[in-house]
Amino acid sequence: MILRRLHLRNFRNYEKLDLEFSEHSNYFVGQNAQGKSNVLEAIYALALTRSFRSTSDKDLVRLGTEGYEIAGEFIDELGIRHQAVMVCDVREGKKISVDRKLVSSLRWVGKFPVVLFSPESHKITSGPPAERRRFVDTLLSQSSSAYLTDLVEYYRVLRQRNTLLATAATENSDFAAWSEALAQFGCRVVAARIQLIRDYTQTLHQAYTQIAGSPSPFRILYRTRFELTQLTPDFFLQLLRQTRAQEERRKRTLIGPHLDDFEFSLEGRDLRLYGSRGEQKTALMALKWAEAEYLKNKTGRAPLILIDDLPSELDAGRVAHALACFAGSGQLFWTAALRLEREANAEYHFEVQHGEVRHLHS
């Protein structure tokens, strides 16, 4: 999948912006707070209907305006062009269309797969469990519309069940129905995650070996209350019954994939607890490269790869290595605050200054 053109209106610090991209590598240079990351954020938002830097659409709207528009012209693997448009009004919400036909968010995610590597990505390997769940859920949601549907339904049911727990309405007949629904969707979510780990492990190990230059065993482990042989709604409900009194005291659901975690293991050690800073950076590069390869293999479409401020996270050698790895996985967009020697290999080079983007060469 190739993003050939991008149009922004009233997005962040851009009143209007029209860009045409190389199908291989696109490099943005400029000092901090000039608008480099905003371009990558717009591409990410167009692909996944949400920002990677904010949970509120209001934050994405240019000051003094009431909404924004992001439009992209994509070229698929058959060479067919598609026009994708997302229009957001802070009062009325978002509308998404592909080739002038409105689509829902559930049907949209995964059409244009994207991989993000930013300074905040370190939270995946060193942050709380929610960051690792978000990483896994985003990867699975882009590769499987069924998983995204099950995940959305699971969290909808979870909110309803938690509401009954918070209001001490667990004797209500609805509580049993919500518990049964939670078990059904929860089992599907867990099963998909287990399968992902099986499919992803070999790719991840190969990526780490190539980046690190040594065959150190690097694995991702799924920490859940459920084994595959026990993964049935009846067993899920049994666990819910066992924790019922505790749930009523704490007024929230204490069993399910919303509490699971993932552990990254390097040579048998928990990377989060025992990995050096260098090992964590290398592991993160491997995770993102493996993510791109997984999406390409599962969807048949090369993802858009967004690398925000890579030199701030890696030394010059690792920067060159990272770009060389990612270049073969999909169309590349990357930013840096300083001009780097590596920029000469970028087909399109843009300079960003005070919300203005200048195409320097191709």
Q: What is the pLDDT of residue 319?
A: 67
Q: What is the total count of domains within the chain?
A: 1
Q: What is the pLDDT of residue 71?
A: 97
> Rounded CA gap, 51 and 88, in Å?
13
Question: Which strand (E) or helix (H) includes residue 189?
Answer: helix 173-212
106 dihedral zone (left: phi>0; alpha: psi -120 to 50; beta): alpha
What is the β-pairing status of strands 93-98 and 348-353?
unpaired
Q: How many CB atoms lie within 10 A of CB 212?
A: 18
Q: What is the pLDDT of residue 291?
A: 93
- Any domain includes 346: no
Q: What is the pLDDT of residue 346?
A: 63
Q: What angle do CA 228, 157, 259 make, to 5 degrees?
A: 50
Q: How many CB atoms lie within 10 A of CB 271?
A: 22
Q: What is the pLDDT of residue 315?
A: 64
| 8 Å CB contact between 224 and 190 | yes
Q: What is the pLDDT of residue 85?
A: 95
Strands (DSSP E) found in 36-150 = 67-75, 81-89, 93-98, 101-103, 114-117
Distances 162 to 7, 233, 238 between C-alpha atoms, Å: 42, 19, 18
- Any domain includes 107: no
* Successive 10-residue mean pLDDT values, the chain, 362 residues: 95 94 90 88 94 88 93 91 93 91 87 91 91 95 95 97 89 90 97 93 86 82 87 95 94 96 91 84 88 91 89 64 78 80 66 85 58
Q: What is the pLDDT of residue 345?
A: 60
Q: Which of 96, 92, 55, 56 is nearest to 72 (CA)?
A: 96
Q: What is the pLDDT of residue 7?
A: 97
Q: What is the pLDDT of residues 203-256, one digit of tens each?
A: 888 888 888 777 778 889 999 988 878 899 999 999 999 999 999 999 999 999
Q: What is the pLDDT of residue 316?
A: 65
3-state SS, residue 315: coil
Q: What is the pLDDT of residue 329?
A: 85
Q: What is the dihedral of CA 144, 148, 150, 152, to 10 degrees?
A: 180
Q: What is the pLDDT of residue 3?
A: 96
- Any domain includes 339: no
Q: Which domain holds residue 166?
A: 119-300
Q: What is the pLDDT of residues 98-129, one digit of tens each?
A: 999 998 888 889 889 999 998 888 899 889 99
Q: What is the pLDDT of residue 267?
A: 86
Q: What is the DSSP string of 32-59?
A: TTSSHHHHHHHHHHHHHSS-SS-S-GGG
Contacts 24+ apart (CB under 8 A), 55-61: 57/88, 57/90, 57/94, 58/90, 60/11, 60/12, 60/88, 61/10, 61/11, 61/88, 61/90
CATH number for the domain including 272? Answer: 1.20.1050.90
| 8 Å CB contact between 260 and 214 | no
- Any domain includes 296: yes
- Any domain includes 314: no
What one-character DSSP code corresponds to residue 314?
S
- Any domain includes 344: no
- Any domain includes 9: no
Q: How many CB atoms lie within 10 A of CB 13?
A: 17
- Any domain includes 66: no
